[in-house]
Amino acid sequence: MALPAYLSRLRGAVIFEERLLGNHADLQYDDYTVTIDKDTAERIPFVIAPNGSQSLTFVTTRGVTGKLHLIVYARSGIDLNLEFRLADASHLDIIYSYISFHNQVLKTRTDHILGENSTLKINTGIVHGGACELDERFELAGSGANLKLELLDVASGSDRATIRQNVLHDNQATVSQIDNRLIAGHLARLDYEVTGHIAKASSKSRCVQDNRGLLLGEKSVIQVEPKLLIDEFDVEARHGAAIGQVNEEEMFYMQSRGLSENEAKKLIVSGYVEPYLDKITDSKLARVLRTRIASKIAGGK
Amino acid sequence: MAKLEIKDLVVSVEGKIILNGISLTVNGGETHAIMGPNGTGKSTLAAIVMGHPKYRIEAGDILLDGESIIPLTVDERSRKGLFLAMQNPVEVPGVTNFDFVKTAVSARMAKDEHLRIGKFIFRFEDAARALRMGQGLSHRFLNQGFSGGEKKRNEILQMSLLNPKIAFLDEIDSGLDVDALKLVGENVTRMKSPELGLVLITHYQRLLDYIEPDIVHIMIRGDIVRTGGRELIAKIDSEGFDWLKAELGIDDFEEKPTQYSLGSCAASQKVAERN
């Protein structure tokens, strides 16, 4: 697949299609397994652009700190399996950018297994065209494991997303925090099932989910099913979902400062989008994503 | 000099009249205080002048510099020079304080004008420093995670950067400790000028110790029932509003709230019987 220049020329990037094509970051790679065995000073761009189905595993070694920007690029339909195994006391900070195009099915399953005192920080941006099916699993296997997940999903027109996020707290003092920000333009539909499960013997754990959804069209749909399954005492858990059109009080406040309805809406939408885009350090890629998001919000494909 | 005239204004919400033929004139350079018991329509007055869509104007007019502002949208009123420092400023996640104020200042500029960012950053920082808002304010999300006092100071910061002609400060003293109140008072007093008309809505004397009003109004049941000078503040502070209600023959009764039940059929029936 011919990658666009903004991806193929990313500085220090690792490019993976059916096999590893470029490895400018010198990551250790063997048999579809990437091992992060030393701290990464800068975030490594890792472009995954498979044709059809593909599996990849990422492993961190004990105590290491890694930063990745995983860019899943789907010009045609893909079926991707990604597995992450975080060793004890390792830290992984991932930005995901899912980029797909009109009428394509982007199907991805991710498994994350976190060891003792490991931390996983994820910022996901889904800028899709067509259908996106994402099944994310997080197993907080080691005590003190910590997950922080922020997700932005922007859809419009015939775009559909079916997203399942499953967090299993399977040890003591594990922490998870999910913050989903969803924008559905006219006719788009986003379905989210967000489940936090605190298993037995996982006391002192904390499981938090926040879901915010902004409906920009009368016929747009966002459906979120937040679930908490708690099998242990002495834990903290909460979930919330706030979905609706632009809030009247927010609009009044902004307009009372002189912003027109359009300017106020734009600013409210930017409040969903900018925290994600701010984290993309490559200016060309950030510009492409910003343009696509702006076009989605304006009702484009 | 700016002039706001509220003339015989009758306002309702959900079919209930809450402002009952109120009239008030505020000129540039004047500071008015509106005091009154809870639920008398003080905040409604400020919100309706700003154009809150929740309220319906049944009769009367609101004029700014001789021109009716009733047909204008909220943002048009703001750009004409009206400002409302809100009692409960909303939180807007993801939008930084700086971006918000910058957009608001830009929105007031003529089409061929451009905001000079460098200069504006200095103005923003100076205003933040004067209100002791601390570093990092510009990057914090609008009012999110702000303490009550920070939210109120942020309102005053916006006011200082937007240069309004007529500003309503709705219970700007609530949530402020003594030091913060003094600071806000000093900042607002510094802004006083012949070009700025101020309307302070408050329950307490303490705000008016720091921002001295020229005219004091007492509002009860949706109308201004007494207008005077500072002597009214001292009287309210020592005696409350009962003396005035007695003088005017206003019956003080609590409206019986309608009770709703989300419970069983039996509970619903019980509530229905009570109502």
In-domain check, residue B114: no
Most confident of A228-237, A283-292, B227-236: A228-237
- When CB atoms are compared, the residue of A252, A254, A268 closest to B52 is A252
> Mean pLDDT over residues A124-131, rounded?
88
Range of the domain at A261: 5-298
Which DSSP helix (H) or strand (E) runs through B159? helix B148-162
Beta-strand pair A28-30/A20-23: unpaired
Tally of residues, chain A: 301
Range of the domain at B233: 3-94+165-274
In-domain check, residue B121: no
CB B28 within 8 A of CB B229: no
Residues of A with CB below 8 A from B94's CB?
Answer: 181, 270-275
A301 pLDDT exceeds 60? no
DSSP 3-state of B251: coil
Complex-level ipTM: 0.89
Beta-strand pair B223-228/B215-220: antiparallel
In-domain check, residue B127: no
Tally of residues, chain B: 275
Q: Which residues contact B79 (CB under 8 A, 6 or more apart)?
A: A258, B107, B108
Q: Which residues contact A138 (CB under 8 A, 6 or more apart)?
A: A112, A114, A120, A147, A149, A165, A166, A167, A168, A176
Picking from B43, B73, B80, B95 by the largest number of A CB atoms within 10 A of its own CB, the best residue to mutate is B95
Tell me the C-alpha distance between B186 and B184, whole Å.
5
Q: Which residue of A has its CA nearest to B141?
A: A271
Cα-Cα-Cα-Cα dihedral sign, residues A134, A139, A144, A145: negative
Instruction: Assign A300 a pLDDT band (cuts: 50, 70, 90).
Output: low
Number of continuous H segments (helices) and E segments (strands) in chain A: 4, 19
**Residue A63 burial (CB count, 10 A):** 14
* pLDDT for the residue numbered B227: 96
In-domain check, residue B110: no
Number of domains chain B contains: 1
* pLDDT for the residue numbered A224: 96
DSSP 3-state of B156: helix
Q: What does pTM read for this prediction?
A: 0.82
DSSP 3-state of B53: coil
Q: CATH number for the domain including B185? A: 3.40.50.300
A29 pLDDT exceeds 80? yes
CB–CB of A257 and B158 under 8 A?
yes
A183 pLDDT exceeds 90? yes
Tell me the C-alpha distance between B234 and B3, whole Å.
28
Residues of B with CB under 8 A from a CB of A: 50-54, 73-75, 77-79, 83-84, 86, 89-90, 92-95, 99-101, 103-104, 107-108, 141, 158, 162
In-domain check, residue B103: no
For the stretch B222-242, pLDDT in tens is 999 999 999 999 899 888 898
Number of domains chain A contains: 1
User: Tokens 């409210």 map to which residue?
Assistant: A268
Question: CA of A260 to nearest chain B CA: how many angstroms apart?
Answer: 6
Name the stretches of chain B with pLDDT < 50: none
* Closest to A166 in 3D by CA, of A207, A195, A129: A195
CB–CB of B54 and A268 under 8 A?
no
- Enter the tokens of residue B59: 């009769």
Instruction: Assign A75 a pLDDT band (cuts: 50, 70, 90).
Output: confident
Q: What are phi and psi of B9, to 5 degrees?
A: -80, 125
Residues of A with CB below 8 A from B50's CB?
Answer: 252, 256
* pLDDT for the residue numbered A299: 65
In-domain check, residue B128: no
